[in-house]
Amino acid sequence: DNGLSEADPEVRAIIEMEKERQFKSLELIASENFTYRAVMEAVGSCLTNKYSEGLPGKRYYGGNEHIDELETLCQKRALDAFHLDGKKWGVNVQPLSGSPANFEVYTAVLKPHDRLMGLDLSHGGHLSHGFMTPKRRVSGTSIYFESMSYRLNESTGLVDYDKLEEMADRFKPKLIIAGASAYPRDFDYPRMRKIADAVGAFLMMDMAHISGLVAASVLANPFDYCDIVTTTTHKSLRGPRGGMIFFKKDPVLGVDLESAINNAVFPGLQGGPHNHTIGGLAVCLKYAQSPEFKAYQNKVVSNCRALASRLTELGYKLVSGGSDNHLVLVDLRPLGIDGARVEKILDKASITLNKNSVPGDKSAVVPGGIRIGSPAMTTRGFTEKDFIAVADYIHEGVQIAIDAKRAVSGSKLQDFMKFVASPEFSLKDRVLD
């Protein structure tokens, strides 16, 4: 059997180009990271060949003695990595990714059209937390369940817990979701627990972005207050692309979470587990218990603080005024420029980050901010000094975007994109090249 270069040079070439892009660019997307070589070996292994529907010891296929051992090891490491007592907490390591993991939880604890509350997408929440617009139910979460989003206090940039409490009292959700994709601060779990208890709701934390920081005890521990905790495995945790669901073993609100969640994963919403991913995840969770991992997560935060304070020195407005975690959210609106234009210019200079809504934004296509994360470049060895330089590069990019916007005839984003793609525009005579 041939290797990839012989079997399919076309795909090989694309992989090589992507590898070079990843190697050469400044990767600042807050939800991305570079996983370990050992994780990639496990993900690229023969584990991909095996069907193993069911759970360890209870499979619908034969030949699973090694897969059983692998999944059991992965579950044990997941509980250990998050310092959990296996008598009180269980985990399902089969979710294919973060969005399926969340939907599996909703399927487990809600009936169709039951109510849930998550953080609004435009205020930092995730699509899978119930996103809908006044015209359209966008996410499956809002198609199959009734969603009412809570929001940030626009002047502080912090979750408006008072308003959440007031809304929950009126809406009476059955599930409240903590967690976010673009929130630079930690969550107040005790407060959210109180709000959930007052209305008889389950409390779930989606720690996808910060699970590495939680494992390293750099941020507050959601397990002390939540009934269910979901996560992706490929962000700050630095593992393969996948998901996990942690659940309390004792029944909550009369529901046996263990069987409800396991059944929602399979046969509810998934078929055969991706054993190659589970193999990679087990490897990542071994690393996650090492002193080096803790040191790395501390650096993720200190690097992000260095970035935030340099941006503040340069006059930028940061949502919430700074960061306690791995990301900053920059509000560009006071400068008369938006995240889409800045993202495009920085992309041309191989600085990869993403445009992001900031509180008060009207449009998700041309939002007023950018989100910048520190996990990936910290993996590449960047220090606080390097992140100060990153802030300076971004600053140059913003200036170029402002100049280019002035130089464009026409005010539409399309006009800008055409202009910066044209030979007329070049970064060559500009500093950021």
Least Cβ distance, residue 293 to ligand PLP (angstroms): 21
Residues 196 and 167: beta-carbon distance below 8 Å: no
Instruction: State the CB neighbour count (10 A cutoff) for residue 317.
Output: 17
1 in active site: no
Stretch touching ligand PLP by CB under 6 A, among 19-27, 130-138, 195-203, 204-212:
204-212
Q: Hey, which residues does 371 pair with through a beta bridge? A: 329, 354
Read out DSSP for 171-201?
H--SEEEE--SS--S---HHHHHHHHHHHT-
Q: Distance between CA 180 and CA 118 in Å, rounded? A: 9
Helices and strands (H, E) in the chain, number of each type: 16, 17
241 catalytic? Reply is yes
Catalytic: 115? no
Helices in 200-338 by DSSP H: which ranges? 211-215, 257-263, 275-287, 291-313
- Smallest gap from Cβ 129 to ligand PLP, in A, equals 7
* 323 belongs to the binding site for ligand PLP (CB under 6 A): no
Looking at 118, 179, 222, 373, which residue binds ligand PLP (CB under 6 A)? 179
- Encoded tokens for 342: 């800045």
* Given 104, 120, 146, 206, the catalytic residue: 206
Is residue 231 annotated as a catalytic residue, yes or no? no
- Residue 39 is encoded by which pair of tokens? 């994780």
Please report whether residue 320 would count as binding ligand PLP according to CB under 6 A.
no
Catalytic: 418? Answer: no
Pairwise CA distance, residues 279 & 38, whole Å: 10
Site membership for ligand PLP, residue 142 (CB under 6 A): no
| Residue 208 lies near ligand PLP (rule: CB under 6 A) | yes
Residue 98 sits in the site that holds ligand PLP (CB under 6 A): yes
Asked if 239 interacts with ligand PLP (CB under 6 A), we say no
Are the C-beta atoms of 119 and 151 separated by less than 8 Å? yes
Shortest gap between Cβ of 155 and ligand PLP (angstroms)?
24
Q: What is the rounded CA–CA span in Å between residue 267 and residue 260?
A: 11
Check residue 104 for interaction with ligand PLP (CB under 6 A): no
| Segment near ligand PLP (CB under 6 A); pick from 97-105, 141-149, 348-356, 386-394 | 97-105
Binding mask 214-233 for ligand PLP (x = CB under 6 A): ------------------x-
- Residues of the shown chain interacting with ligand PLP in the complex, contacts defined by CB under 6 A: 31, 97-99, 126, 128, 179-181, 206, 208-209, 232
Question: Which residues are designated catalytic?
Answer: 51, 53, 206, 232, 235, 241
